Amino acid sequence: MQTVIIPKNEYQSIIRRQFQIEKELTVLKKAIIRNDENRVNPSILKKWDKISHNLDQRKGRHFSSIEEMKKWLRDL
């Protein structure tokens, strides 16, 4: 395993983005489940649970823009 050194402010920025993505994903997931859980395909719910678990384990995605994140969410 290689060690990479990044500046402290960049690391903090990554952590803030990660936290914000986790929060937005949780809100999105709750809203969709609350509105109509029966319309959401169980395989999609399983993917969301896996994504949520990965985010909890500090494994996640990095998006440089909101549009890129929306495209990724649509492609799920």
Residue 63: other Cβ atoms inside 10 A: 15
Per-residue pLDDT 10s for the chain (76 aa) are 788 888 999 999 999 999 999 888 888 888 777 766 667 677 877 887 888 887 778 777 777 787 888 888 788 7
Q: What is the pTM of this model?
A: 0.42
| Total residue length of the chain | 76
Which helix (H) or strand (E) segment holds residue 67: the answer is: helix 66-75
- CB crowding 11-34: b at 16 or more within 10 Å, else e: eeeeeeebeebeeebeeebeeeee
